[in-house]
Amino acid sequence: MARIILITGGGRSGKSTHAQRIAESTSGIRTYIATCPYIDEEMTARIRKHREARESSCWVTIEETIDLAGALQKSKESQVILVDCLTLWINNLLYEAEQRGKSFNEEAIGACCGEVLDVCDGLPGTVIFVTNEVGMGIVPESPASRLYRDIAGRCNQIIAGRADVVVFMISGLPLKIKGE
């Protein structure tokens, strides 16, 4: 059963940097599962910057926007797997459902998270999930934004409930809120 670490916080709070630091303190095979799609030039530049930050540290990178459980399964030989990030994965799942004319809700994300955690139960080593706390501000104006906030919150609760360690990042500083 994998040791699970969840790193959460606001945008640009240092989540990815902290997650990478933890992962790189582990010897052996490291896998980075990137959930971000290439949607425009700015996002492509961000993806490139993240890749360059890992180049000297011997990472295996898997780019997977939808099938997170499958990507984790492909990484079963790794001592540490970093998933960055759950909130982009949720965005991708919502978009895919919309494109197929299907609905996606808290129950659906619960099932997806269950699949991900079931795979983690069969993995050795450590899995680090990065996510955003999107529900700490005002109530979003639109129904779609509220749905996204609610689904992200549900996902974070499910993963945090199973996690061995949960870290909340504030201004680049880690605040451990669960675990050792």
3-state secondary structure labels for all residues of the chain: CCEEEEEEECCCCCHHHHHHHHHHCCCCCEEEEECCCCCCHHHHHHHHHHHHHHHHHCEEEEECCCCHHHHHHHCCCCCEEEEECHHHHHHHHHHHHHHCCCCCCHHHHHHHHHHHHHHHHCCCCEEEEECCCCCCCCCCCCHHHHHHHHHHHHHHHHHHHHCCEEEEEECCEEEEEECC
- Annotated catalytic residues are 50
Angle 106-121/86-99 helices, nearest 10 degrees?
Answer: 130
